[in-house]
Chain A
């Protein structure tokens, strides 16, 4: 048996490396799919909430819209207002005892994270839509685009860019908070760690390793997200096509140079 701290860490890694790895995989799977589905739920909810009443909309449709809004409000309130660990217990055991559905644990975990994340995403995406200035909606309508066309081609691409940091936050939160799903015995990282630690009563050593793994995951994810943001923004400079002397030439300008070119254009 090892005698030092690092001796134990090495030993445990050797013994349970595979277990930790599979736990990491499960954690990533739950967190990623949960965030993606949660995002989809949030998107749907946000679009429904931003539909404006067109002229001459019937009473039935108005009522339908009202009911949809109420359901959405209740959904968001409940799932933001209770801890995910409690939601997990209620949904998993509730559906087993009263609906007779014995859910696959992984499926249950993804379901719970998705619904929970969806409630947060709905608000985040709504904020993103509001952040796109109203003038662009109007300009799109003014050239004849429908609400759907306006949303998909003009508003959502910008809204999503604006909320990317918050969405990334949700993903990171999900990587960490999926650990509470050990209460329904999903074989994610925390659950695997608990079983490994119990064998030799080496809680500190095992959870030290687990902490490092979580940290590596979250740091990597935030780096990737930062990169994606930069990619989406495109370059700061842009290319001017065709100078006066040679139409094939390209000139790269920055904002300052652009002002200069503009002054020249005016003086012509």
Chain B
């Protein structure tokens, strides 16, 4: 069995009196692509945001290579953030920097890399996502698809071990969804461990090694794409999949 990278035990999170996560247990092994599906409000994004500590969970464990990042003092937070990258629905590129600087600043500030090394690394990943020609462009000069590709390059430039994708194509024009999914598929084939919150069932079917269906703060069903998408057992999953058609 492959090494477990992320392991979550009994994770709880509430916003005020509204309980969003009601005890999540789940693991992701090295090289796995886990697609998390479910209707809005089911807690998918909150789960990802908890793993990245953009939200503080109320209870439970988030283990990264066996160490609980919520309690273990030996975990270096900036390093953890670098190792567990995140790609957002709204891209969130730094507006005051051009494409190249967006991909360099984290390397220099967080990883302490030199300017030259950061630039070389940034260019490597910008080439990978097909954005190397746009190094001088500011985010506001790009449209959605290119922006998201730059955001992926920015995350890759930190040399992460896991990437969390929070609905990476939901804010895109339909014509640009394909190019971003292609980049992601490419990453998956290279063995990147990925947790993807998505509504792209085609992507989940083709790329995921595991599909997780969340409903009302719990994992209602999980398994291979064939099991979960092909022969759903849970009634809510069946109706969810019907509504996606």
Q: Is the CB of A158 within 8 A of B95?
A: yes
Whether B146 is near chain A, meaning CB under 8 Å from some CB there, is yes
Instruction: Tell me if A's interface is mostly helix, strand, loop or mixed.
Output: helix
Cross-interface CB contact of B106 among A133, A145, A261, A262, cutoff 8 Å? A145
> In angstroms, how far is the closest chain B Cβ from the Cβ of A79?
31
Interface residues of B in 52-71 (CB under 8 A from A): 52, 54, 56
Which of A144, A157, A259, A265 gathers the greatest number of chain B CB atoms within 10 Å?
A144
Considering only CB atoms, which chain A residue lies closest to B95 in the complex? A158
Contact bitstring B72-116, A, C-beta under 8 A = 1, else 0: 000001111110011010111111111000000110011000000
- Which residues on the B side are within 8 Å of A100 (C-beta)? none
Q: Is the CB of A255 within 8 A of B141?
A: yes
- Which residues on the B side are within 8 Å of A146 (C-beta)? 78
Q: Is the CB of A241 within 8 A of B78?
A: no
Which segment, of A81-89, A165-173, A175-183, A232-240, faces chain B?
A: A232-240
Q: Tell me, in angstroms, the Cα distance from A262 to B178 when the chains sit together.
A: 12
Whether B138 is near chain A, meaning CB under 8 Å from some CB there, is yes
Q: Is the CB of A142 within 8 A of B141?
A: no
Cross-interface CB contact of A145 among B110, B132, B143, B175, cutoff 8 Å? B110
Q: Tell me, in angstroms, the Cα distance from A215 to B80 when the chains sit together.
A: 57
* Total count of chain A residues near the partner, CB < 8 A: 34
> In angstroms, how far is the closest chain A Cβ from the Cβ of B121?
13
Q: Is the CB of B135 within 8 A of A142?
A: no
Q: Is the CB of A142 within 8 A of B86?
A: yes
Whether A248 is near chain B, meaning CB under 8 Å from some CB there, is no
Q: Tell me, in angstroms, the Cα distance from A242 to B81 when the chains sit together.
A: 34
Q: Is the CB of B134 within 8 A of A138?
A: no
> In angstroms, how far is the closest chain B Cβ from the Cβ of A137?
9
> In angstroms, how far is the closest chain B Cβ from the Cβ of A76?
27
Considering only CB atoms, which chain B residue lies closest to A243 in the complex? B133
Considering only CB atoms, which chain A residue lies closest to B108 in the complex? A153
- Which residues on the A side are within 8 Å of B109 (C-beta)? 145, 149, 153
Whether B158 is near chain A, meaning CB under 8 Å from some CB there, is yes
Q: Is the CB of A144 within 8 A of B95?
A: no
- Which residues on the B side are within 8 Å of A132 (C-beta)? 95
> In angstroms, how far is the closest chain B Cβ from the Cβ of A243?
8
Whether B154 is near chain A, meaning CB under 8 Å from some CB there, is yes
Whether A139 is near chain B, meaning CB under 8 Å from some CB there, is yes
Whether B130 is near chain A, meaning CB under 8 Å from some CB there, is yes
Cross-interface CB contact of A154 among B81, B88, B96, B179, cutoff 8 Å? B96
- Which residues on the B side are within 8 Å of A139 (C-beta)? 86, 88, 92-94, 151
Which of A133, A140, A157 gathers the greatest number of chain B CB atoms within 10 Å?
A140
Cross-interface CB contact of B56 among A55, A157, A240, A265, cutoff 8 Å? A55
Considering only CB atoms, which chain A residue lies closest to B105 in the complex? A153
Interface residues of A in 108-145 (CB under 8 A from B): 132-133, 135-136, 138-145
Q: Is the CB of A262 within 8 A of B135?
A: no
10 tightest CB-CB pairs across the interface, nearest first? A144-B81, A144-B78, A139-B92, A135-B92, A143-B106, A144-B110, A142-B86, A157-B96, A238-B137, A240-B133
The chain A residues found within 8 Å of chain B, CB to CB, are 55, 132-133, 135-136, 138-146, 149, 153-154, 157-158, 161, 234, 236, 238-242, 255, 258-259, 261-262, 265-266
28 chain-A/chain-B pairs, Cβ below 8 angstroms: A132-B95, A133-B90, A136-B94, A138-B88, A138-B92, A139-B88, A139-B92, A140-B106, A141-B81, A142-B52, A142-B85, A142-B88, A143-B81, A143-B85, A144-B78, A144-B81, A144-B82, A145-B78, A154-B105, A158-B96, A238-B136, A238-B138, A238-B141, A258-B142, A258-B143, A258-B146, A262-B145, A266-B145
